[in-house]
Structure 1
Amino acid sequence: MHVWKKGVNLALTLVMAGGMLSACSSSGNTGGGASGEPASTVSKEGFPIVSEPITLSVMAPDVGMAKWEDMPVLKEMEKLTNIKLEYRLAPLDSFTTKKNLVFASGDYPDFFYASEITKSEEVNYGSQGILIPLENLIDEYAPNLKAILDEHPEIRKSITTPDGHIYTLPRIDLSAVWYRGPMWYNGKFLEALDMEVPTTTEELYTYLKRVKDEDPNGNGQADEIPLSSVKLDDIRMFMFGSWGMVSEDIYNDKEGKVHYPFMEEGYKGYLTFMNRLWTEGLLDAETFSQTDEQKKAKGKNNQIGLFADYNAYFTLGGTEPGTADPMAIPVKSDMVDSAVYGKHPGLSTGAFAISSANPNPEATMRWIDYLYSYDGATLFNHGPEGMLFEYVDKENHVKKFLDVPGGDREEYRATLTPNYGISTPGFEDISLYNGLRGEFDEWIVNENKTKLEPIAQVPFPIVYLTEEEQAEVSRLRSDLDTYVVQMEAKFVTGIEPLANWDSYIAQVKKMGGDRIVEIYQAAYDRWAEN
């Protein structure tokens, strides 16, 4: 499984702009713990959180870079809070299986961290009382998170289940832009062809045609691959925007109408264009059979003109990011007035939950709330000051990196903090990187700002389905999603002629396409009315 290096490379943190400062803490004591222990022992502000040491068990995925009990961040948290953690970790690749076994066993940890609890699990285990409601704890013991939710009520709506409760906390990154890596042009090819970055489908077609015909890699061989992909999964969402579809999954338009893209006329336009590329040899002939590693090998051989990845150099080769290979602009087709881009919603839900076994939910909420403050986010992202970084101007949050043992900053960071390679609770913001951004980071910010942000919109809010709705959607989509992907390949390659479009649409509807839209429309309407 790919390990996501979250932290210092802002190209991988999907940067844009935004700012959420830590909120002031409240004071006073109310409520009681799950075990009946009085909450008066829990401080509502400052440190330590509890007057007498307590131990809490935590279940989390482990990427295996260092022992959590040895991490300076967690040692610092124990000193700050008076809360010691007992770790129940599972390897990242098998964490979901282990999590399911724990839920089935009844032997729950006190809290789940970076747990990727699904929305259906929230509804299911919340209604059973296995996960406890958090909204009152947030109001009383989480001033930093509460301030964010008060400022951004759409976030509160997006983490509230149909029964009116909040059972998990999210990772919040309102500066995020990318759902996945964007598309990139081979800068050497653009230069050799004396072309600008295309802005329309016809300009894109012209570029791809010239890549095929004019030997831009200059080796005297017709070995260029204009557009390369892996089963279209890496480019589909980016390409959909050319025909007005904001997502490769359910999305809503500006009027609040829900769409399933594989039934749209825009999808037919996309298939028609992709079939044109395939027929003329402009789309990699191995698109539907190659691996990502095989695609990258072609890129490192300087054969590919356009592709998707988190950074261009991941595909084209080299050891350092650079600005020579420009980010693609979602090109406009003649079916729309403007292309669109599906922006990340800035939330990753299910990152934290408290179980019914926890005797100290108030203290636990205070512990996690620190991660939604600037100081807590800095600690968990960069480690304690003096190890990975130091402040140049602490008042204005300006930092600089320090030399690290071994020289690899990300490898070293993975030994300091658990926030490496997993989707953790807390908040992410561009302000955490003041002084740490290099030339490439600033370039990515500008590419996003000029090319994606003007046409970006969140495809669909994070909504919850009822248990009945989730069961029906899962049943319908298990077959339908397989069918539409198979038909996409057939339409693109010409095995299935687009003259059979009406028969395809009839089959999609027969398999439940309209019903899926109805279910998500109802969920969207509930979200909008909340």
Structure 2
Amino acid sequence: MRNHIRKTVPALMAFLLTGSALAGCSGNEKKEEAAAPSAGASAAPAAVYPIQTDKTLSYWGALPNNLVGVKSKHSDVPFYQEWQKKTGVKVNFTAPPANQIDESFNVMLASGELPDMVEYNFFNFPGGPEKAIKDGYIMKLNTLIDKYAPNYKKFLKENPEIDKMVKTDSGSYYSFPFIRGDASLITFQGPIIRKDWLDELQLPVPETIDEWTATLKAFKEKKGAKAAISFVAKPRVFNELGNGAFIGAFGVTRDFYQENGTVKFGPAEPGYKDFLGLFRQWYADGLLDKDVATVDSKVLDANITSGATGATWGNAGGGIGKWQPLLKEKDPKASVIAAPYPVLKKGSTPKFGQRDYAYSTGGMVAISASSKNAELAVKMLDFGYSEEGRMFFNFGTEGVSYKMENGYPKYTDLLMKNPDKLAPAQAMSLHIRGNTSGPFIQDKRYLEQYLNLPEQQSAVSLWQKTDMAKYQLPLITPTPEESAEFAKIMADVNTLVDEMTLKIILGSEPLDSFNKYVEKLKSVKLDRAIEIKKAALERYTKR
């Protein structure tokens, strides 16, 4: 195993370090040849927690971003201490440095020493989860789930669409995933605008592109906004518009989507040229942030709270929830609210919008192929899908982080009004994983309390009103053989898209250069990338 890993990892590191990977016969494969967990198969009874064992497991995974600057290791976080107590399983945790998960993952693979459990998005592994199994990094879990994970198995049986998502095209189960347990949890981003400015200027919340243009001009001319609208440019410029905000008004996104059975790539479609024309004009008119190519989250925060920016795109929690109290500290009348996804024709339903999957690939936990404690690891991870485990992951410890009120688990002031002045998101991450991700099923009652501002609650319901479900591609994956080819093509494609997008919007290239750019996309084999996506979609539908 170790020699195999050392031979494979240089190429693997090259893929991961360039960020080009997408989303698979180890020595463990023979004992994992069973098909999908079957309802009729005899399974061991659910583990009785806490499990009686003297074994200690090892676990590698990043701490939640909310804990950066608060805690640096799992052993200091109450949630992980309590998780071990409740399951009865001792765990040695290892955390990669903040924002260095891929680099740390590479180093771990190169060492040949993998822990029992690995929390990592294996859609980012070159060739995807199936390749990770084939190359001997992680276990195929079908038999283990069948025998030792009755809670997870029961959930999959009751939710066939999610069952379809969490396995590979060949039917391999490879992780204990993070599942959004309610439709209300899958939409959380969209356009955000200064409500007090709209009221002062007697303007309605903009719905159409024309209304947005008029509103942004008023923000610039009458409110002195230096960047009437701005967006975070990290990790890539306009990356956050990939779900369809503003671009979607012209019938495309920044990514792949499906329409009438055809897979399309938005930046190669005519509607993308129309979007470029709009943003080019906004930039020329001083409405779009002149530093749009370099804005990071700290700069955007400063722009919004200082009044330099009046509109953007963000989260209900980390956007509205962050900016609203900061604005009100300076001006009690100041406020931000959600705006609907823009359209061209008033009254029409937005075609695209942010919509996550019920299976969210962050937070998944795989078991390494070299683990000698796979059975115990499976039993521990199955806890997150039991009733007790779901309560613990979402709400923590009763009497500490929540208390039951008329059958409702209500967070205590330890989380919502933390005595150490931690923000709710930070305090939550000390005691629960409900506001991040992990191997469990997320509960909507977490969100009902986390989004405690009326502006946040109305934002989610407004942003949900799109037709995104009709056009969104499911969680499809290339085959291991297709993956390297697809990654190489898309590295060239995305470079072209990013360069052309900026040049046209900033005015260094004419809008008519779009046609030549589309020809360049064909020359770097975009059509082949679309073929690979289509083949993956066809395989997915047959799962």
- What range is the shorter-chain TM-score in? 0.7 to 0.9
User: Do structure 1's residue 212 and structure 2's residue 217 form an aligned pair?
Assistant: no
- The within-5 A match list for 1:237-256 is 237-245=244-252, 247-253=253-259, 255-256=260-261
Partner of 2:10: none
Q: 1:148 to 1:243 in 2, by over 3 A?
A: farther
Deviation at 1:512, TM superposition (A): 1.5
User: Do structure 1's residue 352 and structure 2's residue 365 form an aligned pair?
Assistant: yes
Q: 1:500 to 1:326 in 2, by over 3 A?
A: same
Matches of 1:388 and 1:189, distance apart in 2 = 38
Q: 1:91 to 1:279 in 2, by over 3 A?
A: closer
2:178 is paired with a residue of what secondary structure?
Answer: strand
User: Do structure 1's residue 261 and structure 2's residue 261 form an aligned pair?
Assistant: no
Gaps of 5+ in 1: 1-30, 35-41
Residue by residue, what CA displacement relative to the aligned partner does 1:472-513 show, whole Å, maximum 9, x if unpaired? 111111122011111011222332222233212111111121
Residue by residue, what CA displacement relative to the aligned partner does 1:387-406 show, whole Å, maximum 9, x if unpaired? 1221123xx33324144542
Partner of 1:101: 107
Matches of 2:373 and 2:225, distance apart in 1 = 64
Q: 1:487 to 1:150 in 2, by over 3 A?
A: same
Matches of 2:45 and 2:481, distance apart in 1 = 39
- The within-5 A match list for 1:34-49 is 44-48=45-49
Q: 1:139 to 1:240 in 2, by over 3 A?
A: farther
Q: 1:199 to 1:70 in 2, by over 3 A?
A: closer
Matches of 2:97 and 2:511, distance apart in 1 = 46
User: Do structure 1's residue 90 and structure 2's residue 96 form an aligned pair?
Assistant: yes
Matches of 1:478 and 1:437, distance apart in 2 = 38
Please give the root-mean-square deviation of Cα atoms over the aligned residues, in Å.
3.2
- The within-5 A match list for 1:413-428 is 413-416=428-431, 419=433, 423-428=437-442
Matches of 1:333 and 1:495, distance apart in 2 = 27
Q: Check conservation: 2:320, 2:455, Cα contact below 8 A.
A: no
AA partner of residue 166 (structure 1): Y
User: Do structure 1's residue 475 and structure 2's residue 488 form an aligned pair?
Assistant: yes
Q: 1:443 to 1:284 in 2, by over 3 A?
A: closer
Q: Check conservation: 2:46, 2:149, Cα contact below 8 A.
A: no
1:296 is paired with a residue of what secondary structure?
Answer: helix
Deviation at 1:452, TM superposition (A): 2.7
Question: When you count helix as a share of all residues, which structure comes out higher?
Answer: 2
- The within-5 A match list for 1:422-441 is 423-432=437-446, 436=449, 439-440=452-453
Partner of 1:389: 402
AA partner of residue 298 (structure 1): N
- The within-5 A match list for 1:162-241 is 162-173=169-180, 174-175=182-183, 181-213=189-221, 215=222, 217=223, 222-229=224-231, 230=233, 231-235=237-241, 237-241=244-248
Residue by residue, what CA displacement relative to the aligned partner does 1:359-402 show, whole Å, maximum 9, x if unpaired? 33233222112112343133123321121221123xx3332414
Partner of 1:364: 377
Q: Which of 324, 328, 334 is residue 339 of structure 2 equivalent to?
A: 328
AA partner of residue 130 (structure 2): V
Q: Check conservation: 1:168, 1:349, Cα contact below 8 A.
A: no
State the TM-score, normalizing by the size of structure 2. Answer: 0.79
User: Do structure 1's residue 161 and structure 2's residue 168 form an aligned pair?
Assistant: yes
Q: Check conservation: 1:49, 1:367, Cα contact below 8 A.
A: no
Matches of 1:368 and 1:299, distance apart in 2 = 42
1:499 is paired with a residue of what secondary structure?
Answer: helix
Partner of 1:522: 535
Partner of 1:147: 154
State the TM-score, normalizing by the size of structure 1. Answer: 0.81
Q: Check conservation: 1:102, 1:108, Cα contact below 8 A.
A: yes
Q: Check conservation: 1:464, 1:523, Cα contact below 8 A.
A: yes
Deviation at 1:422, TM superposition (A): 6.1
Gaps of 5+ in 2: 1-29, 34-42
Q: 1:493 to 1:87 in 2, by over 3 A?
A: closer
- The within-5 A match list for 1:23-102 is 44-48=45-49, 50-62=51-63, 65=71, 67-102=73-108
Q: Which 4+ stretches in 1 moved above 6 angstroms? A: 31-34, 319-323
